[in-house]
Amino acid sequence: MTYTPPPPGSKIIIVGGGCFGLSTAYALALKNQYDIYVFDRQQIPAPDAASSDINKIVRMDYANDTLYMHLTIEALGMWHQWNEERSQQNLDPVFHRSGVLLLSGKDEFSSFEKACMKNIREAGYGHFIKEYQSPEEIVEDFPQFHHAVKQGFNTAYLNKAGGWCNSSEAVKHMYQKCIDHGVHFVLGDEGCLKNVYCDPKNPDTVVGIQTADDTIHYADRVVLTTGSWTAGLVNMHNQVVASGQQVVHFSSPQNATLNASWEKLPVWCGDLSNTGYYGFPMTPGGKMKIGKHSSGYLNPREVDGVSVPRTQVTHTTDTLPIGALREFRQFLGNFLPETSSLDVSFGRVCWYSDSIDGDFVISPHPDYKNLIVATGDSGHGLKFIPILGFKIRDIIEGIETEYSRAWAWRDMSTQDTKLDGLRADSLLQRLLLDETEHARMATPDEFKASRPRL
């Protein structure tokens, strides 16, 4: 299907007001030549959107995926600019330059960390890296990890340019920018897409969307930025899959010294390409989040087996699978054993739109005229919220760039699945989210530290 960029004056509907959608709406609005609408099934930030969270990692450490390293470097400048804008508005910063500490195991960097350092240095950003020469040096800078180092996480480098962002605040920040630039919003039930709407005489030509209340909203172009929900809304030909990933929080311990030391943590990755675990400093609000970047869980729907997100909005008592909780406790027992005496205060499954190769999928949809999809975030998109929309705008406007080439529709078969670089070595083993003993949801009682054995 040939794609024609929207001429000036076009009405563009963007469905999905998360990171991808808002960033796109803002970049398009800056052109002052389109009429832009964002639809979302919830108020923004949507509580179960991947973008809505207390924090996300902002890292440039991408091993050989240097496209994203360069994109992060572009984004970093804008994160600092956002902090300045916010300080003028008496708002808290959204980006926190805590540094990102990448720990590897057993006396040697793993190939991911080696490739990160090599590429960052070759690109001329070696001054951001502090490579530790001995386990003792790591503990000297970060005594919080003395136990982890003793357990064999004893090689590390710190990327001093990275850190974390308060992602829900970042979404709100971008939402406000969109409002200030004249983007229209249709939110809640009226904003919920039922299906893309095609010209009855030309069934492959999208002329708008039909919302859950059966209203048809006409548009010249429709952009789907519906994250992990996308494959459930339009046939994505298995190029992306909704995969459920796990997150837990701990609340401030009743120990002022420990509390203070956790506030000073950097973002950390505990041999991430092998274990999947990463974590954040304690937030000013007293929450410490730890996550696992893995191949995740599937939730296939009955009608066609397409995996769709199952979240705490529709399943209010959901937590995270008991098997995942057991694994968190086991890993943390070695890595940050002080957590063993703390209750897990919150747990959830958060959904990636996982592409087959870890690259985003941002492209005209091959089956339809006038439909663009921008998804396949593969668990690493949020850090780009200040900049991503400009790259997506290029694609909507038919401008070829290195990004449009990397994110083009790829027609890969699922057996080629290799996930993103960080998970490249992990076993692609996706469990079903169901009622089995491994995948049933953990109960609040099982969150308690006093439970001797899970």
Ligand X SMILES: Cc1cc2nc3c(=O)[nH]c(=O)nc-3n(C[C@H](O)[C@H](O)[C@H](O)COP(=O)(O)OP(=O)(O)OC[C@H]3O[C@@H](n4cnc5c(N)ncnc54)[C@H](O)[C@@H]3O)c2cc1C
Q: According to CB under 6 A, which residues from 239 to 258 bind ligand X?
A: 245, 247
CB of 423 to ligand X, least distance (A): 12
Asked whether the CA dihedral 221, 225, 231, 232 is positive or negative, the reply is negative
Binding to ligand X by residue 382, rule CB under 6 A? yes
The answer to whether residue 379 forms part of the interface with ligand X (CB under 6 A) is yes
Indicate which single residue of 221, 249, 310, 380 sits in contact with ligand X (rule: CB under 6 A): 380
By CB under 6 A, is residue 298 in contact with ligand X? Answer: no
- Min dist. Cβ of residue 199 to ligand X (A): 21
CB 234 within 8 A of CB 197: no
Is the CB of 16 or the CB of 281 nearer to ligand X?
Answer: 16
Site size toward ligand X (CB under 6 A) is 39
Backbone angles phi, psi at 210, to 5 degrees: -110, 130
Least separation in angstroms between CB 146 and ligand X = 25
Q: How far apart are CA 271 and CA 274, in angstroms?
A: 6
x/- binding map, residues 38-57, to ligand X, per CB under 6 A? Answer: -xxxx---x--xxx----xx
Interface with ligand X in residues 11-30 (CB under 6 A)? 15-21
CA 248 to chain CA mean position, Å: 16
Here's the x/- map for ligand X, 357-376, by CB under 6 A: it reads as ------------------x-
- DSSP sequence for 256-267: HHHHHHHHT--E
Which residues, in sequence order, are CB contacts of 135 under 8 Å at separation 6+?
Answer: 149, 154, 155
CB atoms within 10 A of CB 256: 9
Handedness of CA 333, 284, 318, 276 (dihedral sign): negative
Interface region with ligand X, contact rule CB under 6 A, candidates 82-90, 116-124, 225-233, 391-399: 225-233
Stretch that binds ligand X, among 33-41, 141-149, 195-203, 315-323 (CB under 6 A): 33-41
For 290-339, the DSSP string reads EEEEEEEEE-B-TTT--B----TTTSTT---BHHHHHHHHHHHHHHSGGG
H or E element at residue 12: strand 11-15
Q: Which stretch binds ligand X (CB under 6 A): 76-84, 89-97, 347-355, 440-448?
A: 347-355
User: Does 192 sit near ligand X (CB under 6 A)?
Assistant: yes
**Which positions lie near ligand X, rule CB under 6 A?**
15-21, 39-42, 46, 49-51, 56-57, 191-193, 225-229, 233, 245, 247, 291, 350-352, 375, 377, 379-383
